[in-house]
Amino acid sequence: MRAFTLPTSFRLSALTTRGLSLLGLLVLGLCLAAPAAAASAAQKRPASMQPGHVETFTVGSIKVYGIVDAATTFETTLLNPEFRLNLPQASFAGVVKTYLLQWNGKNVLVDTGWGSNGPKGVTLQVLKQLGIAPEAVTDILMTHLDADHACGLAIEGRATYPNATLHIARPEYEAWMAGTVKRPADKVALVKEKLSHYTPVLFNWGDIVLPGCTAVDAHGHTPGHTVFDLLSAGKQFSILGDIMHIQAVQLRFPRACTAYDMDQEAAIASRLATFRRLANTKVLVAGMHFPETGSLRLHAKGTYTLDRP
Ligand SMILES: [Zn+2]
């Protein structure tokens, strides 16, 4: 017997905002049979999760473009066993995202997506559609260097953004260059090749990387995984990188890790610290695998939801 199962109304398109609040209540209070159609329903992909989708908003004077670089799927087998027991589906549709920030006369790209590798990312194409030439990107901030974030740095042996200053957390850069990250050797070699087209500027946590942008320690997923806090006109926007991969599960169970988290104890500590720091503040948060942005709300029993602005 299942302790509980997710309700029939469960759809990925309802994972954010009120959908999650409703989901939480239902999960706590109901015990419904798992619908046969749930597995296929999980694969339905709303427009906001299609490659090329752009979410646009402003925070203070920062114009933000949230770009879906590629579609992905997260298998529930990535989760530690205790967190996958009662899930009615074998996988969750996911996204790989990048963010283009325009402020202080700069075009700042946060992570670069897949480029011509993996499922092939569309960030470069979207930037061109937005009228932003690759040469006009002034800065690139890296939350970390996994392939789905770093491969867009270079395409076919050439820097995609030839005029950009590349900013990377010192422990992240050093771990990848030393090959001490828990990733396959071919992936490490691939990322190092992408990096070789730039002269990175290394930052430490606590540094103001750009005016109004502070780097915050969120290591665990990778050794130098970083959250960026952006402040403009008294408004804050925080880019949380890969603090979560399966939002529907990890908001409810912040201690749930996926196999992608290199140091799970540190990843849990960073996830909890980040959630606690930003919850109930109305600070807008975004991530590289979150379908949509929102603000974190902490509930009794330590679960979280993401409220749409
Ligand atoms: Zn990632």
Give the pLDDT score at 84.
Answer: 79
Both structure tokens of 52: 């090329």
Can you tell me the distance from the alpha carbon of 224 to that of 262, in angstroms, rounded to the nearest whole number?
Answer: 11
Crossing angle of helices 170-178 and 185-195, in 10° steps, is 120
Confidence band, pLDDT 50/70/90 cuts, at residue 214: very high
User: What domains does the chain contain, in order, with CATH numbers?
Assistant: 45-307 (3.60.15.10)
pLDDT in tens, 44-69: 789 999 999 999 999 999 999 999 99
pLDDT in tens, 260-294: 999 999 999 999 999 999 999 999 999 999 888 99
Can you tell me the distance from the alpha carbon of 59 to that of 256, in angstroms, rounded to the nearest whole number?
Answer: 30
Distance 248 CA to ligand 1 centre (A): 16
Which residues lie at CB < 5 A from ion ligand 1?
A: 146, 148, 242
pLDDT in tens, 69-99: 999 999 999 998 888 777 888 899 999 999 9
Beta strands, E only, the chain? 54-59, 62-75, 91-103, 106-110, 139-141, 154-155, 158-159, 165-169, 201-203, 208-210, 213-217, 226-232, 235-239, 284-286, 294-298, 304-307
Both structure tokens of 11: 């759809």
Burial 158-171, CB ≥16 within 10 A → b, else e: ebbbeebbbbbbbb
Average pLDDT rounded to a whole number, residues 144-166: 98
Distance 308 CA to ligand 1 centre (A): 22
Give the pLDDT score at 159.
Answer: 98
